[in-house]
Chain A
Amino acid sequence: MVTVRIASGASLEICVADFARGRGSFVVDAVCEGEGSGFTFRLSSLALEEDEKTFDVHLDHRLAHQNGKVDMNGIAGGASKLHFLGETVVRRGAGGTRTRQDGRIIVIDRESSCRCSPALRIFDNDVEAGHGAVEGRLSDQELFYLQSRGIPEKEARRLIAMGYLSPIATYFPEGIREKILSAVEEGI
């Protein structure tokens, strides 16, 4: 569990590259307390086999002119369960705030399941807010395209999944970046 309070003018960015195995939940509770403060949360998560993972991210905008971004991407394979929950709240008095919340989970096997339902609640009029939550299967047209060039199905799935999870690496310093990419590769 991560609990943070962000003061006026300050901003915090948390990036999580999660290729751990097992069961558990990860809770983030971020309160933007000060005017003009900002919070960003980026996640790439891979759940496989019997893994059960829940990411529960709460972001609370309390004063004016704040910035928020919650961007969660996941792949669920095997018999795993992957959940993206939580909510972003923009309170009355947080006018001029810009915040965006996105969640996307791709299920790659029949037995895997997911829930992607982070919420967005807004109590002030003068707010720029965006929201997207997608649960889907690997696109058969993307697979077809790669396979039509001779790439075997397994490798095609791997390329697409890599393409989906690896962008998180760009937010990490060199050295760690390589570790993330090889973790994605091994996981898939």
Chain B
Amino acid sequence: MARLEIKGLSAGVRGKRILRGVDLVLEEGDSLALLGPNGHGKSTLLGCIMGNPAFEIYEGSVTYGGKDVLSLPVDERSRLGIFLGMQNPVEVPGVPSSDFLKAAMNARREKKLSLFQFIRKAEAAYKEVGIPFEMAQRNLNEGFSGGERKKNEILQMRLLEPGLAMLDEIDSGLDVDAIEKVAETILKEKDRGTSFLVISHYARLFRLIRPNRSAIMVNGRIVLEGGPDLIDRIDKEGYEWLRKEHGVSLEKIVDAPMNEVSIGVCATKEALDGK
């Protein structure tokens, strides 16, 4: 529940640039649909905000509530109120979900939860999200189906009560009923005042959670921002119109490694010229 400000963010993997100067502001209480074709850097952006060690930051800044997010360790970012529901949550063998959840909930509390308090809260959240409570005994994400993993992400969001929830294709792998349940949970969090940054390829989820804004990412940049109307347009027409109406080249830029950085920068300029 604070302002998120991303300025000139450039980042990549092992010298390969993926984000090429992202500028985006999320006001308190905003919920933004982050759209864009596959492979253009949406997940990378969320990963960089959360601090995924797979990514390198080259330039730019991210602040949340005025704090310099990029200088903080991952766990502090979380305790600041930032949450990332991941596109592909990893399996953590041998670690029971319940131990993990308890550790995560207690990490942001001065007074630790008693076992009884923990069970009461956890059981309610499992029920709300539609996961059998027995699954708390299972190792974290180990052998979970795609849908179970996604529900498990939403469960964690609910229990950790973030100020900013970033959800990366949270609806992929979910059946229609599950999507509705997930959307209900998101709406409850919205009522708490949580801001949302949501990636999805499907208008169905957005129709349910009603974001007030949208932004389109192409080649590692935000090329267009607007209201929720962009969601329906993309759902019906795809992304081609960006080319005609806004001069955005949709061809993916394949970046050379960083030691040939000048080529990357020129290519970006060309692709986005005339916007």
Instruction: Mark the stretch among B99-107, B197-205, B213-221 that contacts chain A.
Output: B99-107
Q: Are B86 and A147 in contact (CB under 8 A)?
A: no
A165 to B220, CA, bound (A): 42
The residue of chain A having its C-beta at the shortest distance from the C-beta of B77 within the complex is A148
CB-nearest residue of chain B to A142: B92
Report how many residues on chain B are interfacial, defined by Cβ distance under 8 Å: 30
Q: Say what secondary structure dominates the interface of chain B.
A: mixed
0/1 per residue, B89-111, Cβ < 8 Å to A?
A: 11011111001100110011000
Residue B84 is within 8 A (CB to CB) of chain A in the complex:
yes
**CB-defined contacts of B96 to chain A, threshold 8 Å:** 163
Interface contact B103-A167, CB-CB below 8 Å: no
Interface check B54, CB cutoff 8 A: yes
Check B160 against A163 for contact (C-beta < 8 Å). no
Q: Which of A46-54, A82-90, A121-129, A149-157 contacts B (4 or more CB under 8 A)?
A: A149-157
Does A160 lie at the interface of the complex (its beta carbon under 8 Å from any beta carbon of B)? yes
- Counted as pairs of residues, one from A and one from B, with CB atoms less than 8 Å apart, the total is 85
Q: Which residue of chain A lies nearest to B79 when distances are taken between CB atoms in the complex?
A: A150
Bound complex: CA of A167 vs CA of B96, how far in Å? 11
A160 touches B107 (CB 8 A): no
Is A8 an interface residue when CB atoms closer than 8 A count as contact?
A: no
Q: Which of A159-179 contact B (CB under 8 A)?
A: 159-160, 162-164, 166-167
Q: Which residues of B contact A151 (CB under 8 A)?
A: 75, 100, 103-104, 107
Determine if A155 and B90 form an interchain contact, defined as CB atoms under 8 angstroms apart. no
| Chain A residue contacts of B89, Cβ below 8 A | 145
Please classify how large the interface on chain A is, using the bins under 10, 10 to 19, 20 to 34, 35 or more.
Answer: 20 to 34
| Distance (whole angstroms) from the CB of B67 to the closest CB of chain A | 15
Which residues of chain A are within 8 angstroms of B75 by Cβ–Cβ distance?
147-153, 156
With a cutoff of 8 Å between Cβ atoms, the chain B residues found around residue A166 in the complex are 94
Where chain A touches its partner, the secondary structure class is helix
B139 touches A163 (CB 8 A): yes
Min CB gap A170→B, angstroms: 11
Bound complex: CA A5 to CA B92 (Å): 38
A149 nearest CB neighbor, chain B only: B104
A153 to B72, CA, bound (A): 12
Question: Which of B16-24, B45-53, B170-178, B243-251 participates in binding chain A?
Answer: B45-53
Give the residue name and chain of the A residue nearest to B88 (CB).
A141
A146 contacts partner chain B, Cβ-Cβ < 8 Å: yes
- In angstroms, Cα B52 to Cα A185, docked, is 27
Which A residue's beta carbon lies closest to that of B50? A148
Cβ of A186 within 8 Å of any chain B Cβ, yes or no, is no
Contact of A163 with B92 at beta-carbon distance under 8 Å, contacts A149-B100, A151-B107 already known: yes
Chain B residues with CB under 8 Å of A153's CB are 73-75
Given the contacts A145-B86, A147-B75, A150-B108, A155 and B103 also touching, CB distance less than 8 Å: yes
Cβ of A25 under 8 Å from chain B: no
Residue in contact with A160 in the complex, picked from B53, B78, B95, CB distance below 8 Å: B95
Q: Is the CB of A164 within 8 A of B107?
A: no
List chain A residues, Cβ under 8 A from B44.
none
Q: B194 within 8 Å of A by Cβ?
A: no
Are the C-beta atoms of B156 and A149 separated by less than 8 Å?
yes
- Complex: chain B residue closest to A156, CB-CB: B75
**What A residues does B160 contact at CB under 8 A?**
149-150
**For the complex, is A139 an interface residue (Cβ under 8 Å from B)?**
yes
The verdict on A144 contacting chain B, using a C-beta distance below 8 Å, is: yes
**Residues of B close to A149: CB separation below 8 A:** 75, 78, 100, 103-104, 107, 156, 160
The interface centre, meaning the residue of A149, A151, A162, A163 with most chain B CB atoms within 10 A of its CB, is: A149
Question: A148-B78, A150-B78 known; A163 and B93 CB under 8 Å?
Answer: yes
Q: List 27 A-B contacts (CB under 8 A).
A: A139-B90, A140-B53, A141-B52, A141-B54, A142-B90, A144-B74, A145-B89, A145-B90, A146-B95, A146-B100, A147-B51, A147-B75, A148-B86, A149-B75, A149-B100, A149-B160, A150-B104, A151-B104, A153-B75, A155-B107, A156-B75, A162-B95, A163-B92, A163-B94, A163-B95, A163-B96, A167-B94
The 7 closest A-B pairs by CB, nearest first: A163-B94, A149-B104, A150-B78, A163-B95, A147-B74, A150-B107, A147-B75
By a beta-carbon cutoff of 8 Å, the part of chain B in contact with chain A is 50-54, 73-75, 77-79, 83-84, 86, 89-90, 92-96, 99-100, 103-104, 107-108, 139, 156, 160
